[in-house]
Amino acid sequence: MSHAPGEGRPVSSLFPARCNEEVASQNATTMATLNEIELSEVKIEELSLNFKETPRQDHSMTPVELCYFDDFATTLVVDAVLNFSTHKMCKKRRYLYGDEQRVARELMERFRKDQDWTPAIYGFLNMRSVRSFIEKLAFNKQLEFRDHIIRFLNVFHHDSGYTIQECTRYSLEGNQGAKLVATRAWYRGDKIQRLSGVVCLLSTQDEDTILQPEGSDFSVMYSNRKRCSTLWLGPGAYINHDCRPTCEFVSHGSTAHIRVLRDMVAGDEITCFYGSEFFGPKNMDCECLTCEKTKRGKFSTSDEEENDEPSALSEKRIKYGLRSRSRV
C-alpha cells in the first residue's frame, strides 16, 4: 500500500521543545471535540484495515515525534494492562482525558482475549484525544503513529513469544517498573521477531532538548559504529539490564531486533547488557538478578573504595547512562 504524504505540520511544531515546559500551556488549551475535527483528514477506517502485524523496519520519525508517539502508545496499550504509568519521555504530559483510560483498558482486555487487531486499532484511533492528536499530522505520520501502536500490541499477541509484567526490582524506578518475559522456549541465535526497538540518531541539540538526567536515561544507547547517541524506544525499551544477559540488541539502522544469547524457557526474563558503567563505575550500583546472586553491584558487601576514573564518554555516560549495542 502506497500513499502520498498529506498536508500536515511536523510534531515538533505542535508542542514546546522541552517536555517539562509544556504543562501550563497544555492545561490552557481546550481539547478538540469530534465535531471540531475535519473527519476526512483522519482516515481511521483505512488506517485500521490496511496494516501489517509486524510493521516495516524503516521509519521517518524525528526524535521528538518518536518521543510523543511512544508516550502515547505506551499509555494506550501497556499502561492499560499494567494499571500504572510506565516510563515516559515527557512525564508531565497528560495523554488521555475523561473516561479514556477505561476505554483503553476495555480495548486491551478484548484484544488479549480475541487477538483481533482491527477493533483494537480502530478503537484507539477513534478516541477523542488520539483523533485530536493525529488530525494535525500528515497522513504518512498517521501511518507511523498507527504502526507504533501495533508494535506495542504485539507485546500481548499470542504469537509473540513474550509479554510484559510488572517489575519491582529497581529502586531508580521507585520499585515500580516493567520487564519482558518469555512465554515459550527460545534458543541461542533465535531472533524474537515481534520484539523490536525503534532508533533515532540524536544530535547535541536533540540531547539538550529531549533528554532529562535520571528521567529518560532508559531511552538512550551509544552506537559504537556511528559514534553517537541514539534514542531507543518501542517495546525493546522495556528490556532490563543484566550482567549475564539472555539477549542482545542488534541494530538495523532505524530499528533494532533482539537476538537470543542463552536458551530461555517460559517465565525467563528477556535482558540485555547496557554497558560496563551504566550504573556507575564498574556498575557498582547495579541491581540486576545476577548481581544479587553473586553479591556484586548494589548487593556487594565489599568495602573496596571506588576511586575509578571515568572512562571515555564519561560525562554523557554519567549523565544518561548510555547503553552499547551490537550490529549485524
Question: Is a pLDDT exceeding 50 seen at residue 324?
Answer: no
Structure confidence by residue, pLDDT tens digits, 21-56: 443 343 333 333 333 334 334 688 889 988 999 998
Q: What is the C-alpha to C-alpha distance for residues 262 and 267, in angstroms, rounded to an integer? A: 14
Domain 61-158 has CATH 1.10.10.1700: yes
Mention the CATH class of domain 162-302+313-327.
mainly beta
Q: How many CB atoms lie within 10 A of CB 139?
A: 19
The domain limits of the chain are 61-158, 162-302+313-327
In a 3-state reduction of DSSP, which class is residue 123?
Answer: helix
Question: Is a pLDDT exceeding 50 seen at residue 328?
Answer: no
pTM value > 0.75:
yes
Q: How far from the centroid of its chain's Cα atoms is residue 94's Cα?
A: 17
Q: What is the C-alpha to C-alpha distance for residues 148 and 178, in angstroms, rounded to an integer? A: 19
Structure confidence by residue, pLDDT tens digits, 53-112: 999 888 999 999 999 999 999 999 999 999 999 999 888 788 999 899 999 999 999 999
- Among candidates 61, 208, 242, which has minimal Cα distance to 142? 61
Q: How far from the centroid of its chain's Cα atoms is residue 268's Cα?
A: 20
Question: Is a pLDDT exceeding 80 seen at residue 196?
Answer: yes
Output the CA torsion 10→14→17→18 (10° steps).
-130
